[in-house]
């Protein structure tokens, strides 16, 4: 059987699939050429990330496809219901990248409360001529210990965020329509571990009480954070979005940054990827990364192996 890893897969994933008797093709096929390529090469399974779209039209036109794999969590670029209704397997890797995304949340958060995103722009330009002024400007940082983080969406990634927050001495509030509570287990270097049970709260309490808010929901039909929600947050709140573009209203965010309601934001995802709005890219109060939440070597290894194991089990 042939597997097309159109957006790539780790070597460990390729090795596992080949050991299981599959032929892995890891060329990048343009979206417009995908139908012809799949049919010409009689592809049995396709693995994608967020770039490749697997919509109803493609599924209809490619009868050889038996499985669609998403190297990540979200499935919004795949017509899942249609695929499953027509007998295709749709798989993803909901746990493999959780730690990587959670760590990126705190990369943005730790950097922002100490102004690293701004000072790293200023120091190369003026560090030798305005050192004392820059020191004064950036010497009013904030510690995370004792502060409250609000986790909006308490699935696997949200729970990993909670683990790091607890380790830093933060208070944790979480909200989720489907999860009333979750056990959070911290494992330490010496083999010891401790488990906390965190009960979720309603969204209004989270908005009102959190010093920082991080978003971890699936793709939505509409925004979940707009000017209305921002108005109910604490003055000087920080907002992090490493989840999906289109759940945080970017125009409302920029206005809130300009009027001081929001102190800073950290963004890894954008409404208009791959061309984020210029007003975001140029805003000095936003810490920016180019959708790299799952982009660690360790996460890609776990994703590749997890996908390979599922494909071998389902199609082998």
Indicate which residues carry an active-site annotation: 244, 273, 291
Give the span between the Cα atoms of 64 and 229, in whole angstroms.
46
The values of phi and psi at residue 155, to 5°, are -80, -155
What six digits make up the tokens of 115? 């102004």
With tokens 């810490």, the residue in question is 287
The kind and range of the H/E element at 308 are helix 297-315
Q: Coil, strand or helix: which one is 6?
A: coil
The alpha carbon of 257 is separated from its chain's Cα centroid by a whole number of angstroms, namely 22
Quick count: other Cβ atoms within 10 Å of Cβ 118? 19
Q: Which residues contact 66 (CB under 8 A, 6 or more apart)?
A: 44, 45, 87, 88, 89, 315
Question: In the chain, at which residue ranges do the beta strands (DSSP E only) sit?
Answer: 2-5, 23-25, 45-48, 67-70, 89-91, 148-152, 171-175, 181-187, 193-199, 212-215, 237-241, 262-267, 286-288
Distance CA 224, CA 222 (A): 7
Q: Which helix (H) or strand (E) holds 113?
A: helix 98-113
């Amino acid at each position: 059987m042939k597997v097309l890893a159109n957006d790539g897969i780790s070597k460990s994933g390729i090795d596992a699939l080949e050991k299981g008797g599959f032929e892995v093709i890891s060329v990048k096929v343009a979206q417009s050429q995908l139908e012809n390529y799949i049919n010409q090469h009689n592809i049995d399974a396709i693995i994608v990330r967020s770039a490749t779209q697997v919509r109803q039209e493609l599924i209809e036109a490619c009868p050889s496809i038996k499985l669609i794999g998403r190297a990540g969590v979200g499935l919004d670029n795949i017509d899942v219901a249609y695929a499953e209704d027509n007998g295709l397997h749709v798989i993803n890797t909901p746990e493999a990248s959780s730690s990587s995304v959670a760590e990126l949340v705190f990369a943005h958060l730790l950097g922002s409360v100490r102004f690293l995103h701004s000072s790293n722009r200023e120091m190369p330009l003026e560090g030798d001529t305005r050192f004392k002024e820059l020191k004064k400007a950036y010497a009013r940082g904030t510690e995370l210990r004792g502060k409250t983080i609000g986790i909006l969406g308490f699935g696997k990634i949200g729970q990993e965020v909670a683990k790091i927050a607890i380790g830093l001495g933060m208070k944790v509030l979480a909200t989720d329509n489907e999860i009333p509570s979750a056990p959070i287990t911290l494992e330490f270097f010496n083999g010891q571990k401790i488990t906390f049970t965190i009960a979720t709260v309603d969204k209004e309490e989270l908005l009102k009480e959190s010093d920082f808010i991080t978003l971890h929901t699936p793709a939505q039909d509409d925004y979940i954070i707009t000017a209305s929600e921002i108005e109910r947050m604490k003055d000087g709140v920080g907002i992090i979005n490493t989840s999906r573009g289109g759940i945080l209203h970017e125009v409302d965010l920029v206005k809130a940054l300009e009027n001081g309601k929001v102190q800073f934001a950290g963004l890894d995802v954008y409404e208009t990827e791959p061309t984020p709005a210029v007003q975001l890219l140029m805003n000095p109060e936003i810490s920016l990364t180019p959708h790299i939440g799952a982009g660690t070597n360790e996460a890609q290894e776990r994703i590749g192996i997890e996908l390979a194991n599922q494909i071998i089990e389902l199609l082998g």
